[in-house]
Amino acid sequence: MKRVLILMVLVLLAVGDAAAQKYYIPRFKKTKIERDYELENMKHKVAINMGGSYNICMGMQNVIKYGERGDKTSYNESMSVSGGSFYLGAGYRFTENFIAGLEAGFQLQDNDNSIPLYLSMKYYYGKAVQKKRYRWFNYLNAGPQFYIGSSSKTVGGLLAAGGGLRVLAGRTMKMDFYMGYQLNMRNCLPSDFGQHDIPASDIKYRQFSHLIQVGVNIPLW
């Protein structure tokens, strides 16, 4: 009798378990939800940005031409003090990849400070809206810069090129980390102290600084 009762109980348990399995709701498995990240605000064609850089001087080249004689001499020297810059820019988004505009700011240098004003072009790789929170870019800057020191003529030049990475730092905040090469050209004023065979007005003295530029750019609009 006991065996029959035990057998009946086991049968009932088996039937109940089968019924429970029929209505069993599997445990929710957490899945990674993919979303689209906006790396460029294409709602606005006008782009506003600000940023700054630390400039590491790799050396300096001096080129001197002597009047009508056409003689030329050049020599290299090292600059012991590095500098930096900060700037504000405005540009136009031609496509989701290409932005061009003007940037102006202030540049601290060992051989006279300057106010650069240059054309800036940036090309970003990949889509403006994508699954990743970053995309690579290249940049090119070229234009005049205006020296404010007493040993320089007012107008000089600037040329810079490099690359970097745009990162979505928050929900909407974007940051461009970049590194590149910058060439500064300064028109120096030759010394007219004492007596010389060639007047200072006939001497062209240019100084070229070679810099490694490391900085960050923040799009504001």
Domain that holds residue 184: 37-219
Residue 59 resides in a domain: yes
pLDDT value for 216: 96
pLDDT higher for 121 or 129?
A: 121
Residues ≥6 apart with Cβ < 8 Å to 170: none
One-letter amino acid at 128 equals: A
pLDDT value at 20 more than 70? no
- HEC string for the chain: CHHHHHHHHHHHHHHHHHHHHHCCCCCCCCCCCCCCEECCCCCCCEEEEEEEEEEEEEEEEEEEEEHHHCEEEEEEECCCCCEEEEEEEEEEECCCCEEEEEEEEEEECCCCCEEEEEEEEEEECCCCEECCCEEEEEEEEEEEEEECCCCECCEEEEEEEEEEEEEECCCCCEEEEEEEEEEEEEEECCCCCCCCCCCHHHEEEEEEEEEEEEEEEEECC
End-to-end CA distance of the chain: 86
pLDDT higher for 67 or 60?
A: 60
- Going by pLDDT thresholds of 50, 70 and 90, the confidence category of residue 106 is very high
Tally Cβ neighbours within 10 Å of residue 91. Answer: 21
Residues 86-115 have a mean pLDDT of 92
The enclosing domain of 74 has a CATH number of 2.40.160
pLDDT value at 21 more than 60? no
Residue 8 resides in a domain: no
Residue 129 resides in a domain: yes
Residue 214 resides in a domain: yes
Residue 111 resides in a domain: yes
Residue 13 resides in a domain: no
pLDDT value at 4 more than 50? no
pLDDT value at 62 more than 70? yes
Structure tokens at 10: 């086991």
* CA-wise closest residue to 101 among 115, 114, 87, 113: 87
Q: Could you report the per-residue pLDDT of 67-92, keeping only the tens digit for each?
A: 666 677 777 777 666 789 999 999 99
pLDDT value at 109 more than 50? yes
Q: Could you report the per-residue pLDDT of 147-175, keeping only the tens digit for each?
A: 887 777 889 999 999 999 999 988 888 99
CA distance 85 to 87: 7
Do 116 and 153 form a contact (C-beta atoms < 8 A)? no
- Going by pLDDT thresholds of 50, 70 and 90, the confidence category of residue 15 is very low
pLDDT value at 211 more than 80? yes
Q: How many domains does the chain have?
A: 1
- Going by pLDDT thresholds of 50, 70 and 90, the confidence category of residue 30 is low
Q: Could you report the per-residue pLDDT of 189-204, keeping only the tens digit for each?
A: 766 554 555 555 667 8
Structure tokens at 61: 């080249």
Residue 160 resides in a domain: yes
CA distance 138 to 135: 11
pLDDT value for 199: 57
Residue 12 resides in a domain: no
